[in-house]
Amino acid sequence: MKLAIFGGSFDPIHIGHLSIADEVRVSLGYDQIVFVPANIPPHKPASLMISTNDRVELVRLGIAGNGAFRLETSEVDRGGVSYTIETIRRIIKVNAPVGRPGLIIGDDLLEGFPGWKEAQQIGALCDLVVARRFRTEGRLSLTLPDFVSNCREVDNLLVPVSSSDIRGRIREGRSFRYLVPERVYEYISNNGLYKS
């Protein structure tokens, strides 16, 4: 099975995440997209996020009904700070994917990629799959590190939605219903998430 890994805090998961995942699957021919919620992201203060259990549940609800999307909780199960390289090694070991797995990242993360833990090993084990987050047109202008042997660029639809915008809308009592899947909206609303 040809796999692509999509990690993040997913705080909350939204239509932008799902749109990117489906574009990667369809345009690059992956059989399955593996969503990996981070336990504690290395570059974000965990104290500002909702509980890990709630974020995992939001991903589960957000991808429900799509057999090509799968939830992977290894970072949460492992505990501590979540490092992508550890997740990649586990997914390769447990799933034995066909070929190198893809690692989906937004173009906004590419510049800082060389600073990730064992970035060279990530580049050796995975194909980087770079999706547009903020570039409105054209190809990547950033220079890839020498150790990245294969990078696949996705010409995805630019969906100007971010988790931080959604959290802000909820805090301000503004509409967010159609920025997230319906079941995600219901869970957030029923549990009063992001209100304070």
DSSP string, the chain: --EEEEEE--TT--HHHHHHHHHHHHHHT-SEEEEEE-SB-TTS-GGGS--HHHHHHHHHHHHTT-TTEEE--HHHHH-SB--HHHHHHHHHHHH--SSSPEEEEEHHHHTTGGGSTTHHHHHHH-EEEEEPSS--SSS--SPPPTT---EEEE--------HHHHHHHHHTT---GGGS-HHHHHHHHHHTTT--
List the chain pLDDT tens, one digit each, 196 residues. 999 999 999 999 999 999 999 999 999 999 999 999 999 888 776 667 899 999 999 999 999 999 999 999 999 999 999 999 999 999 999 988 888 999 999 988 888 888 999 999 999 999 999 998 765 555 555 566 666 768 888 988 888 899 999 999 999 999 999 999 999 999 999 999 999 7
Note the pLDDT of residue 140: 54
Q: pTM for the complete prediction?
A: 0.92
Query: Looking at domain 3-159, which of 3.40.50.620, 3.40.190.10, 3.40.30.10, 3.40.50.2300 is its CATH number?
Result: 3.40.50.620
Domain boundaries, the chain: 3-159
Note the pLDDT of residue 142: 53
